[in-house]
Structure 1
Amino acid sequence: MSGHNLLKLWASGGSRWRLHQGISRCGKACYSSSNPKVCIVGSGPAGFYTAQHILKARQNVEVDVYERLPVPFGLVRFGVAPDHPEVKNVINTFTQTAKHSRCSFYGNVNVGKDVSIDELQQAYHAVVLSYGAEGNRSMGVPGEDLAGVYSAKDFVGWYNGLPNCRELSPDLSCETAVILGQGNVALDVARILLSPVDILKKTDITQPALEALAESQVRRVLIVGRRGPMQIACTIKELREMVNLPTTRPEMVAADFEGVTEALKDLPRPRKRLTELMLKTALEKPGEKEQERRIKASRIWGFRFFRSPVEVLANHNRVAGIRLAVNKLEGEGEGAQAVLTGEVEDVTCGLVVSSIGYKSLPIDPSVPFDSRKAIVPNVMGRVQQTAGLYCSGWLKTGPTGVIATTMNNSFDTARSVMEDMDSGSLDVSAAKPGSKSISALLEKRGIKPVTFSDWEKIDNVEMSRGEACGKPREKVLTVEEMLQVAWT
């Protein structure tokens, strides 16, 4: 390259010159120590979308992603239903990000325990917290600690292979299960409980869960919500899957739908379509073919509206039923509030799954945390009163929306980081050591991180185990075995 061209390249952006220089020296980019360094805590959708946007927006930023488990992808791996493989395709995009020359993955590192936020802030110009919502919202009713009562997060974690839910082994010997909550996760749980095993065994559901479901005696699932049909939180796709689920039929209470037909015309289109499908399922006489299918059905599901849990009823320390308060609605549409009527009704059941929301937990005493909202207080992802600290995903907003919602909110946080670098409010002029100093700290503390290529060994083992039994994947279920596979 001529001196003139070199000068031109330097003038058009020093970062590109450093990049060129780095790659020509060592094949994979070995960046200048003065490059801005960003650390992301959590490798779920929020973490990877934040990383993706930062890497794309600036050609000289280096991004390190830290994850508590030895495996990446968070709720895409452990939350998405096994029979929704198309939703997991986003893993391909995250893999591209993880393999980017300026991105590194460090699994098996428990931030807040193995390394503090303060230590990360000393090593990086910016720290983004994207560790999601791993806690459960409590129902706050007597009996919720009885055997046979589970949070949806743990139940989903059990059939999806989350290591700390492996021992859950729920008792499925009862006839009726009650799910509290009417969002997509509640419908996922209902669908998994009622799906024919022949469908499930072609998915990446774990083998222990598959075996338990094959023996399951659950024949009826009630999906309970405190408000009415027009406030239901699931999407039409999830409802349609329930309606068309083989070997099942719906069972609704006609009185729950009073006045709904008249209100249809004023609903926004997505809500209108969802409500129409519910009305059709609940009240219309089915056609001949559907009628025949319903007669043959061996399992039942149904929504129960205007009901709130008051108490889980016990028999010898096990759930035997649930007492529900009967509500009425005050107000209109999305803003309608459930108000108690004073009536209660008891439902006999042997399994209760509470699907009333996930909850973020504080990670480190140095990080501000709003325990009422269960989020880190922030403005556009900037953590209040803490320069250089950011948050994205459910930790930022609370547990709402789908993967696309998380993508947009993570891009917004990434933009805040970039704006602060550009405006100088985030000082990137002084060199920071980044992973170099953190790796040294971890080594001193006896912590060995899992790299992305280590994860790929786990991935290959899971895929080949799956192939052997006609599944897309058979997950490794313990952290110990994950580490063993990663490091052999």
Structure 2
Amino acid sequence: MVRKYVSIIGSGPSGFYTAHHLLQNVKVPLEVTIWERLPVPFGLSRYGVAPDHPNVKNCEDTFTDTVKDVMGKDSIHKFNFIGNCEVGKDIELSKLLSKQDAVVLSYGCATDRKLGIPGENDTTGVFTSRQFVNWYNGHPDFALHPKFMDFDWKSVKNVGIIGNGNVALDLARLLLSNNVDSIWGRTDISPIALNKLREAPIENVKLIARRDFPNSKFTNKELREMWLLEEYGVRGHIDSKFFTPEEWEMKEQVRSFRRCVDLCSEYVKPFELRSAKYKKLPQPTNGIFTKNWELDYLKTPLEILKDETTGYIKSLKLCNNTLTKANKVIPHEEETMSYEVDLLITSLGYKGSAMAGFEELGVQFDNAKVTNKQGRVLNTEGNEIPRLYTSGWIGRGASGVILATMTNAFKVADNILKDLNVLPTREGTSLPSLQNIRYTTWDDAQKILKFEQEKGEQVSKPREKLLTIEEMLQVVNK
């Protein structure tokens, strides 16, 4: 039987789930090569998941087991990991496509959605959620970045977060509880980031949304974690004008929203007025709340104001919004207000970027994603580009949990398998030359991960990540 060759660009959940499904279901010998810009695999799972949510990273075990099976002596398939190598920069995309039966774009979304307001790009103390999450997760692009390392954390009392999705709540939870060792002490959070955050005497975190409470983006699990911070002296608040269950026709709402309202209805009450179930939950040992967070609604940010001498953020100017029946936001710029903030994080979501080489192949890239039909990449004329596919966020947009990514990756893999069955056998399929590229193999990556785990075990953590590419390559060279 003739071997087929598939390259997958990106080693995060979408790339690995695509590989997993292909290898589990293909009927002919298959060689899968995963390409990764960093020396180590796992992408968003490694660098995008909150450190106190280790169960979300369990997919990494699935991926590792898949590779072990393929590399076993009884397997008819082959697997390559080529890390520290960027397709589009170190290797031309067109050259890779010419040498493979299929190439899958699974490289995710690594840029930020922006507010587009004055002061957003030139004010010290303004971060995007992607930058912040990558920083505290030890991503080499941000782990030691001067934007974080040189910032005066000791001056931060009031924090604004624009957005109220799960990432925004992850950020708020970390900012308010970073001194709680029972939450963070045994995680793989970057110790450098954690120590910096612990310098900040944070008192208030405000989560600001353009729409109303029923349009909140967080899930109940994340919200419950915020309310449970009461045990550590952290109190939540929602202004009664934004929390009006009596107006929301609760019987017609979905179950998850009803549960969300029930949860908030209890927690906004004083402790002594809560139902018996909620009175069982722990309160601060001394009964004193020293930190606060608030869900704020129907606001549009207009301008970020800074101290002209230091360049540091001073305040955020906003206006009130109303919503139409069609859920369209109407800003009322004559109704303005100002929030004093020492740190502002915009959590507006991630977006994708076009890869070098798209123009040459005619890849259609619109709305920050690769245009495709059921994973088959389309050109600018709307026709399928043979043998080129996409899975995950770069193909469907940056939203959804890892489970949604898995479902998408499996569907795309099924279509690749259908096409592999009918595509003519190609001569000379192989990998492009890797000469003069300091790439890492799967064994190299495992060596790095093992080193991190052993380093973590010494301090009762799952791992202590290496924060630079140079450190990773040094471990490989030992």
Alignment TM-score, normalising by the size of structure 2:
0.89
Deviations along 1:168-205, one digit per CA (max 9) or x if unpaired, are 33543211100011111001111111113412121100
Is this contact kept in 2: 1:375–1:397, CA < 8 A? yes
In structure 2, give the amino acid aligned to 1:419. Answer: K
| Candidates 241, 244, 263, aligned match of 2:225 | 241
Instruction: Mark the structure with the bigger radius of gyration.
Output: 1
1:253 lines up with 2:239 in the alignment: yes
In structure 2, give the amino acid aligned to 1:484. Answer: Q
Q: Which residue of 2 aligns with 1:141?
A: 117
Shift of residue 372, structure 1, vs aligned partner: 4.8
Q: Which residue of 2 aligns with 1:400?
A: 399
SS in 1 for 2:370: coil
1:212 lines up with 2:196 in the alignment: yes
Q: Distance in 2 between matches of 1:233 and 1:105?
A: 36
SS in 1 for 2:34: strand
With over 3 angstroms needed to count, the CA separation of the structure-2 counterparts of 1:97 and 1:290, relative to structure 1, is: closer
Is this contact kept in 2: 1:36–1:62, CA < 8 A? yes
Is this contact kept in 2: 1:171–1:351, CA < 8 A? no
1:347 lines up with 2:339 in the alignment: yes
Q: Which residue of 2 aligns with 1:72?
A: 41
- The answer to which of 315-324 and 112-121 deviates more is 315-324
With over 3 angstroms needed to count, the CA separation of the structure-2 counterparts of 1:153 and 1:323, relative to structure 1, is: same
Q: Which residue of 2 aligns with 1:10?
A: none
- The answer to which of 178-187 and 290-299 deviates more is 290-299
Shift of residue 122, structure 1, vs aligned partner: 1.2
Q: How does 1:66-105 map to 2 (within 5 A)?
A: 66-99=35-68, 100-101=70-71, 102-105=78-81
Q: Distance in 1 between matches of 2:361 and 2:221?
A: 38
SS in 2 for 1:215: coil
- The answer to which of 369-378 and 43-52 deviates more is 369-378
What is the aligned residue count?
444
With over 3 angstroms needed to count, the CA separation of the structure-2 counterparts of 1:201 and 1:74, relative to structure 1, is: same
- The answer to which of 149-158 and 87-96 deviates more is 87-96
Q: Distance in 2 between matches of 1:292 and 1:95?
A: 41
Shift of residue 295, structure 1, vs aligned partner: 4.4
With over 3 angstroms needed to count, the CA separation of the structure-2 counterparts of 1:149 and 1:158, relative to structure 1, is: same
Percent identical among aligned pairs is: 38
Q: Distance in 2 between matches of 1:238 and 1:110?
A: 34
Q: Distance in 2 between matches of 1:234 and 1:318?
A: 30
SS in 2 for 1:143: coil
Q: Which residue of 2 aligns with 1:460?
A: 450
| Candidates 350, 363, 371, aligned match of 2:355 | 363
Q: Which residue of 2 aligns with 1:487?
A: 477
C-alpha RMSD over aligned residues: 1.9
Deviations along 1:207-253, one digit per CA (max 9) or x if unpaired, are 10121122121121111111111111111110000010232111221
With over 3 angstroms needed to count, the CA separation of the structure-2 counterparts of 1:242 and 1:278, relative to structure 1, is: same
| Candidates 351, 374, 393, aligned match of 1:380 | 374
SS in 1 for 2:218: coil
SS in 2 for 1:366: helix
Is this contact kept in 1: 2:101–2:429, CA < 8 A? no
In structure 1, give the amino acid aligned to 2:265. Answer: L
Q: How does 1:118-137 map to 2 (within 5 A)?
A: 118-137=94-113
With over 3 angstroms needed to count, the CA separation of the structure-2 counterparts of 1:180 and 1:371, relative to structure 1, is: farther
1:304 lines up with 2:296 in the alignment: yes
- The answer to which of 202-211 and 276-285 deviates more is 276-285
| Candidates 1, 8, 13, aligned match of 1:45 | 13
- The answer to which of 44-53 and 283-292 deviates more is 283-292
| Candidates 315, 322, 329, aligned match of 1:321 | 315
SS in 1 for 2:305: strand
Deviations along 1:73-106, one digit per CA (max 9) or x if unpaired, are 0010000001001111111001122332322111
Shift of residue 279, structure 1, vs aligned partner: 3.3
Shift of residue 128, structure 1, vs aligned partner: 0.2
In structure 1, give the amino acid aligned to 2:398. Answer: P
SS in 2 for 1:255: coil
Q: Which residue of 1 aligns with 2:208?
A: 224
Q: Which residue of 2 aligns with 1:165?
A: 142
Q: Distance in 2 between matches of 1:320 and 1:369?
A: 43
Is this contact kept in 2: 1:360–1:395, CA < 8 A? yes
| Candidates 47, 58, 66, aligned match of 2:26 | 58
Is this contact kept in 2: 1:197–1:210, CA < 8 A? no
Q: Which residue of 2 aligns with 1:29?
A: none
Is this contact kept in 2: 1:36–1:431, CA < 8 A? no
Shift of residue 36, structure 1, vs aligned partner: 1.0
SS in 2 for 1:112: coil
Q: Distance in 2 between matches of 1:393 and 1:292?
A: 41
With over 3 angstroms needed to count, the CA separation of the structure-2 counterparts of 1:368 and 1:150, relative to structure 1, is: farther
Shift of residue 278, structure 1, vs aligned partner: 2.7
| Candidates 173, 178, 190, aligned match of 2:172 | 190
Shift of residue 358, structure 1, vs aligned partner: 0.4
Q: Distance in 2 between matches of 1:292 and 1:277?
A: 16
Is this contact kept in 1: 2:302–2:319, CA < 8 A? yes
In structure 2, give the amino acid aligned to 1:240. Answer: R
With over 3 angstroms needed to count, the CA separation of the structure-2 counterparts of 1:462 and 1:416, relative to structure 1, is: same
In structure 2, give the amino acid aligned to 1:447. Answer: I
In structure 1, give the amino acid aligned to 2:57. Answer: K
With over 3 angstroms needed to count, the CA separation of the structure-2 counterparts of 1:67 and 1:83, relative to structure 1, is: same
Q: Distance in 2 between matches of 1:308 and 1:295?
A: 35
| Candidates 180, 190, 193, aligned match of 2:162 | 180
Shift of residue 472, structure 1, vs aligned partner: 1.5
Q: Distance in 1 between matches of 2:83 and 2:222?
A: 33
With over 3 angstroms needed to count, the CA separation of the structure-2 counterparts of 1:132 and 1:284, relative to structure 1, is: same
Shift of residue 370, structure 1, vs aligned partner: 5.6
In structure 2, give the amino acid aligned to 1:185. Answer: V
Shift of residue 283, structure 1, vs aligned partner: 5.1
- Relative to its length, the structure with more helix (as a share) is 1
Q: Which residue of 2 aligns with 1:433?
A: 429
With over 3 angstroms needed to count, the CA separation of the structure-2 counterparts of 1:128 and 1:322, relative to structure 1, is: same
Deviations along 1:4-23, one digit per CA (max 9) or x if unpaired, are xxxxxxxxxxx4xxxxxxxx
